[in-house]
Amino acid sequence: MMKDRKFRSIIAACLSAGALVVATSAFADLSDDERKCSDTANKRGRNVGNQEQKANRTCVKDALQEACVAVTSQKAIDQGQKLTDEFPGTGGKCDPLPGFGVNSPSTDIRDGVVEASDGIIRDVFGDPVDGIVAGDKCADAVAKRGGKKFDTALKAFRGCAKDAADILNIGTLETCVATALADAKTTGVQAKLLADMNNTGKCPVFPVVGAEDGQCSGSVTAATFATCAGDIVDCQACTAMNAITGGNANCDLLDNGAVDFSCNPYPALNIGTHKCTVGGASQIDIKGALPLPPLPATGAIDIDCGTTTPDGKAACTCEVQAPGFGGLNIASLFYACVKPAISGVCPTGEIDCDGGNVLGIDIEGRRNLGPCASQGTCLTSCSAFCGGAANVFDSGCEGFCTDGANSACLTDAACAGLTEGSCDGPDGVGLGNVCDCTCIDSAVGGASPAGTLQCQLAFNLTVEPIPGNSMICDGGDVSINVGDTCAPLTTQTATSIIRNGNNGGLTPAFEFPPGGSSLSGVPADCTALAGSNASAITLQGAAIFYASTIGDLNSLLSVDCQ
């Protein structure tokens, strides 16, 4: 048995509307010998699919359900072995492999084509396959015509590739995918499928019996059911051709002319709320003018995600769990107290279970961007600096309270007395009327791997003096109430920097840290996470604070879930 659904991710790499093919290859035109290898792969790949679709028709005809579909046909395996016998180390037609156009290893071709053939049955009759009635002529017609159309498309693809004057790059083969799906013989099989569906003696009801939980469950007429089943075949035939060539023809576009995640949709997965125990390599590494050792982080956070959509994405939030992180001793001067957010909420993030979205984070802080007369004017200046309001993570005009009416202030105590948060800038000695600005780009670093998570950690931050009342973070002697705060986190890569730190100038000496930081995380396993296993996830991020007791701070946060 070789079923792992891994080829669902093949089409995720190319989802931009209107894009039929992706980047061309830097390799040269295939030589005659390389084209022989390509043709061998196309031929054997088609043969694997043809044997598997025949076996799957028997599964449907005899109502053997998922237990039958889940077993790869021995004849398909034999055809796969014939391809392996041509691969490197055999002296065969694919020894050596061409620079592009033939997937490797050969088992990836075999498994990908088998998975695509099985995908037709699963997509039409539900996954797992069930509910088919033995001897049902309509279900048999769907399996027969669907399998034939699949085989015909792969045959047409091979013919297109053989007839090409030159195969200059992978784009030539990707174009052949579209040609094969539109081939007259391929569409001719589709017409026969429609004719079968219109035969009321063979197909009296729709959806077809057994297909009530498949992708065509909403198709209640012969025409709509035939179209739906035909689109499924086009999707899986395209997926199989990509598996053979290693290409990225846009199967989601080619199955029905629209980028709508209809091809190999990610299954709905209710991920839910799960605890990440903060331990292992978790730490807060504070970068500023004063060198400080990294501080171990302990506690727990909640990762709360919804149900995945067909594109494999789900909305997520992250928040500190009670009682919070242990009090963080900062230079023996004060405790930073990280506790659950009181009422504030952070922007919703995302988990990308099948990968492809860009979810890296870049955070840039700028002390003293320029003069400001209010929090509003600072936000306007910061928006221009960051390239738009959407790219502003935070802004603060020194000498004004952070919350409420944003009254003018000189001390944090003054704002606390007004219930307006804290006073931007250092107490009594700040620059006054200058704008501190933090920008964020939440889409950097290229396409993400499957399971990438990005969220903004919600927490409440207060500062208590040392020694104070000798009770660590008990809330009895809060000197600064920063309030509810968000810290951007990602399992991809998080980069961050403060420029003009402590208003020292735009030189590397006043970059915190010099040259910036770059930290990479470890993505989630969505299935494991849905089963309450958040271990092995590593989130990276940063929170920037200006004008603390020890100056501007870039707090690098690593969360290693245990």
| pLDDT digit string, tens, across residues 63-92 | 999 999 999 999 999 999 999 999 999 999
CA dist 457 and 315 (Å) reads 14
Tell how strand 360-371 and strand 493-499 pair up: parallel
Cross-strand bridge partners of residue 274:
303
pLDDT (mean) for 26-52: 92
Closest CA to 100 of 47, 34, 42: 34
pLDDT (mean) for 546-559: 95
Please state which of the ranges 13-22, 129-138, 335-344 shows the lowest mean pLDDT.
13-22
> How much is the pLDDT for 430?
65
**Single-letter amino acid code for the residue at 162:** K
pLDDT (mean) for 205-226: 98
pLDDT category at 345 given cuts 50, 70, 90 is confident
Checking if the pLDDT of 446 tops 60, the result is yes
Quote the pTM value: 0.77
Checking if the pLDDT of 527 tops 50, the result is yes
Tokens linked to 376: 């509003």
Checking if the pLDDT of 282 tops 90, the result is yes
> How much is the pLDDT for 549?
86
- Burial string for 503-536 (b: 16+ CB within 10 Å, else e) reads bbeeeeebbbbeebbebebbbbbbeebbeeebbb
Please state which of the ranges 48-52, 246-250, 308-312, 423-427 shows the lowest mean pLDDT.
423-427
What mean pLDDT is reported for the chain? 93
Checking if the pLDDT of 16 tops 60, the result is no
DSSP code, position 355: -
Q: Is 465 helix (H, G, I), strand (E, B) or coil?
A: strand
Checking if the pLDDT of 531 tops 60, the result is yes
pLDDT (mean) for 330-352: 94
Three-class HEC string of 279-298: CCCCEEEEECCCCCCCEECC
> How much is the pLDDT for 431?
76
Classify burial at 390, counting beta carbons within 10 Å of its beta carbon; exposed 0-12, middle 13-18, buried 19 or more.
exposed
Residue percentage of the chain with pLDDT more than 90: 91
> How much is the pLDDT for 47?
98
What are the start-end ranges of the E strands in 356-415? 360-371, 392-397
Checking if the pLDDT of 10 tops 70, the result is no
pLDDT category at 23 given cuts 50, 70, 90 is very low
- How big is the chain by its Cα radius of gyration, in Å? 30
CA dihedral 383, 389, 393, 395 (to 10 degrees): 40
- Burial string for 425-434 (b: 16+ CB within 10 Å, else e) reads bbbeebbbbb
> How much is the pLDDT for 21?
36
> How much is the pLDDT for 4?
34
Checking if the pLDDT of 8 tops 70, the result is no
> How much is the pLDDT for 25?
36
> How much is the pLDDT for 432?
87
Checking if the pLDDT of 26 tops 70, the result is no
Question: Are 315 and 350 a contacting pair, CB within 8 Å?
Answer: yes
Checking if the pLDDT of 484 tops 80, the result is yes
> How much is the pLDDT for 12?
36
pLDDT in tens, 261-277: 999 999 899 999 999 99
**Single-letter amino acid code for the residue at 234:** D
